[in-house]
Amino acid sequence: MLGELRLEGVASGLPCEVYWQPGPRSYTGGPQAEIHTLGCGPLLEAAVRTLCRAGARLAEPGEFTLRAFLSGRIDLTQAEAVLGVVDAVDGQQLAAALEQLAGGLAQPLQELRNRLFDLLVHLEAGLDFPEEDLPFLSRLELGRQLQEASEQLQNLAEQLQTRRMSDEGVTVVLVGRPNVGKSSLFNALLRRTQAIVSPCPGTTRDYLVGQLDAAGLRCRLVDTAGLDWVQVVSASGGIGEGEQGQMSVGAVSQQMSVRQVREADVLVWCVDGSQPMEPEEWAELVARGRAPRLVVLTKGDLPVRIDVEQLADQCGVGPIVTSSRTGQGLEELRSRLRETIEGLAATGGHAVWATAIRSAESIRLAEQALRRAITLGAETCPEELIAAEIRLALEEIGKVSGAVYTEDLLEQIFSRFCIGK
Ligand code: GDP
C-alpha cells in the first residue's frame, strides 16, 4: 500500500509504503504491519512518536522473536539462531547461525518425539484398556524401538559436539614462560603423548592442537611455544613482523604463538610453582588480554616456591594447582574450563554454542531415561515404569525445541536480544 505519513511537527506528509500481513503466516504469527519510509533519523523518531501517541508501544528486546516462538512459527533453537545472526561477528558465525535457523536440529528431534509419543500411546492404551483387544507390542519390539531411539539421540549428541568444534572452534590456549610445563599439561589433559616434553626451554617450536574434553564439553586445546606475554597484549602490530625468511625459528614460533593467543577464546596461563617468579613474570601477570584467563600453578608435586596468596591477589582468583606427573588438579581445571566456556556462551552471543550447551544436557538426560526404559523392559518390569521413563525422555527432548519450556529459560534466551528483533 502506498501512502503518506502525517507526523506531528512535520509540515508536509512523508511518502511511505505499508506492508500488511494479517497472520498467521507473518514472522510473529500475528497481524503485522511494516512501514517503509525515508531513512532519516529525526523523521523516523517523529514517526515512532506519532505511532506511540496513537496507541502503539515499543517492542521489548526479543519480543518479535518471542512472539514467533510462542505462536509456534519457530522453535527455540531457531530463536537462538536469530540472535546468532544478529550478533555474528564473522562469516563463519553467520553461516553457523543461518544453518541453525534453517532447523538442523529441530526436525530430527521432532521425528524422534513423534516416535516416542507413539510408543507411549501404545503402552498407555494397554494400561488403561487392558480388556480391549489392542494391537500387541511385544517387549522385544518395544526394546528394539527404544534402542533405535536411543541411538538416534546419541547421533544427535555427537552432531552437537561436532558443531561446537567445527563451527565455533572454542579454542583454549596454554600460555606461559618456556619450561613452565605447558607441553606436559597439554599431554596430561589429552591423556596422550603428543607434545615433546623436554627440560630445555623453547622445545615447542610451533604450536600443537588437540581435542580436549572439558568436563563433557569438547574444545580445541592449543599448546604454544613459550612467549613473552607483555609483547602479546601490548604490541598492536605484533612481534616478529617482517619477511618470514629473515626470521629465526624462535621468532617464527613466537609469531605463531602470538596469533594463537589473539585468537584464543580462553587462556590458561601457566606459572611454574616450583620456581620463584621473575619480576617480568609478575608484570606479565598484570597485563590482560581480551579472552578470559585461568591461572594454573604447574608442578604441584614439587615444593611450592612462589607466594600463592600474592598470585591469587594479582589474578583476582586463586590459581588451580596442577601436576602433570600425579594428575593433581586436572579434573578441577577441566571443570573450571567448562564453567568459563559456558559463561562465554551465555554472554558472548555465540548462538550455536548456547544451543549446543543447552541442548546437550537435555539430550544426555533423555538418552539416559531411554536406556533405563530398555533395562526395565528387558527385566519384565511393569509397563507403568517403562512409560514413566519414556515420558521423562519426551520432556527432555521437548526442552530442546521449546515444546516444553520454563519462564526462566525464556527469560535467559530472550533477554539477550536487542530491541526490535
Ligand atoms: P613447556 O616448555 O612449558 O612446554 O614445559 P614442558 O612441559 O616441556 O616441561 C618442562 C620441564 O618440566 C620438563 O622437564 C618436565 O618433565 C617438567 N615438568 C612438567 N610438568 C611437571 C610436573 O607436573 N611435575 C614435575 N615434577 N615436573 C614437571
Taken in order of first residue, the domains within the chain and their CATH numbers are 2-58 (no CATH), 100-163+353-402 (1.20.120.430), 170-347 (3.40.50.300)
Q: Atom 14 in ligand 1: which residue has the minimum CA distance? A: 199
- Give the pLDDT confidence score for residue 223 in this predicted structure: 87
- Give the pLDDT confidence score for residue 216 in this predicted structure: 73
User: What is the CA(228)–ligand 1 centre distance, in A?
Assistant: 18
**For the ranges 251-255, 300-304, 360-364, the one whose mean pLDDT is highest:** 300-304
The backbone torsions φ and ψ at residue 260, rounded to the nearest 5 degrees and listed phi first, read -60, -40
User: What is the CA(177)–ligand 1 centre distance, in A?
Assistant: 11
- Rounded Cα gap, residues 359 and 353, in angstroms: 10
Q: Which residue has the higher pLDDT, 190 or 73?
A: 190
User: What is the CA(179)–ligand 1 centre distance, in A?
Assistant: 6
Whole-prediction pTM? 0.50
- The partner residues of 171 in beta bridges, in order of sequence, read 220
What are the strands, taking DSSP E only, across 85-228? 171-176, 208-214, 217-223
Residue count of the chain: 421
Q: Which residue in 292, 319, 325 sits closest to 307, CA to CA?
A: 319
Would you say the CB of residue 99 lies under 6 angstroms from ligand 1? Answer: no
Would you say the CB of residue 275 lies under 6 angstroms from ligand 1? Answer: no
Would you say the CB of residue 328 lies under 6 angstroms from ligand 1? Answer: no
pLDDT-derived band at 65 (thresholds 50, 70, 90) equals confident
Least confident among 216-220, 293-297, 383-387: 216-220
- Rounded Cα gap, residues 176 and 226, in angstroms: 6
CA angle 100, 87, 400 (to 5 degrees): 35
Q: In terms of DSSP bridges, do strands 266-272 and 171-176 run parallel, antiparallel, or are they unpaired? A: parallel
Would you say the CB of residue 348 lies under 6 angstroms from ligand 1? Answer: no
Block residue for cell numbers 601457566: 270
Q: Atom 21 in ligand 1: which residue has the minimum CA distance? A: 299
Q: Which residue has the higher pLDDT, 162 or 330?
A: 330
pLDDT at 408 over 80: no
Cβ pair 271, 281 in contact under 8 A: yes
Would you say the CB of residue 171 lies under 6 angstroms from ligand 1? Answer: no
Q: Which residue in 114, 89, 162, 182 sits closest to 360, CA to CA?
A: 162
- Rounded Cα gap, residues 375 and 186, in angstroms: 39
Would you say the CB of residue 314 lies under 6 angstroms from ligand 1? Answer: no
The one-letter amino acid code at 101 reads L
Q: In terms of DSSP bridges, do strands 14-21 and 32-36 run parallel, antiparallel, or are they unpaired? A: antiparallel
User: What is the CA(287)–ligand 1 centre distance, in A?
Assistant: 24
pLDDT at 117 over 80: yes
Would you say the CB of residue 179 lies under 6 angstroms from ligand 1? Answer: yes
Would you say the CB of residue 197 lies under 6 angstroms from ligand 1? Answer: yes
Q: Atom 9 in ligand 1: which residue has the minimum CA distance? A: 181
pLDDT at 165 over 50: no
Burial class of residue 19 in the structure, from the number of CB atoms within 10 Å of its CB (0-12 exposed, 13-18 middle, 19+ buried): exposed
Block residue for cell numbers 500475528: 30
- Give the pLDDT confidence score for residue 237 in this predicted structure: 38
The backbone torsions φ and ψ at residue 104, rounded to the nearest 5 degrees and listed phi first, read -55, -40
Would you say the CB of residue 105 lies under 6 angstroms from ligand 1? Answer: no
- Give the pLDDT confidence score for residue 302 in this predicted structure: 95
Sign of CA dihedral 39, 42, 47, 52: positive
Q: Atom 12 in ligand 1: which residue has the minimum CA distance? A: 181
- The partner residues of 213 in beta bridges, in order of sequence, read 218
Strand order from edge to edge, sheet including 2-5: 2-5, 14-21, 32-36
